[in-house]
Amino acid sequence: MSDTDTFAEFMEQERARIHQEREGLLVDKNAIEQRLTQLDRDMQAVDAYAAAKTGRVPTAKRVLTAKTNGARPGSRRAAIVEAVGANPQGLGRGELLQMLDVKGNKSGEMAVSNALTALIKSNALTRVEGKYVLA
């Protein structure tokens, strides 16, 4: 057995290990996001109940803190890389906008376009035949 066979086997095993760990983390991330969404709903329900009991409407500040006000820095890029990574054939801009649920939201579309440009400049993504693929 040559060194290249051993190295090739090692690289394949390492890729499989990293891929498996990544998939596990994505499952954990999705579970956490679902739990956070449920907690946000619970908070809104508590606020609505308190408003009904006291006859007061929750202040705008309280409502804004119950929901996140915009994406966290870097989360848009991470979501794009995740979406493109899940589609080896690549995704067009329109497909990405639909997957990220920002189609028709001008500021959301602009944020995705800016993130795509930054990801291409950082060599995380490339364009092949009009579709974005992992570099």
Same domain, 6 and 53: yes
Beta bridge partners of 133: 126
Tell me how far apart the alpha carbons of residues 95 and 93 are, in angstroms, rounded to a whole number.
Answer: 5
CATH of residue 88: 1.10.10.10
33 torsion bin: left (phi>0), alpha (psi -120 to 50), beta (else): alpha
46: containing domain: 1-69
Same domain, 81 and 108: yes
Q: Answer for the pair 100, 79: CB distance below 8 angstroms, yes or no.
A: yes
How many CB atoms are closer than 10 A to CB 83? 15
Same domain, 79 and 63: no
pLDDT tens across the length of the chain (135 residues): 566 679 989 999 999 999 999 999 988 998 898 999 999 899 888 888 888 888 776 554 444 444 444 556 668 888 898 888 888 888 999 988 888 888 888 888 898 999 999 999 999 899 998 899 988
Tell me how far apart the alpha carbons of residues 18 and 112 are, in angstroms, rounded to a whole number.
Answer: 27
The residue behind tokens 């908070």 is 43
Question: pTM of this prediction?
Answer: 0.47
The residue behind tokens 């007061």 is 56
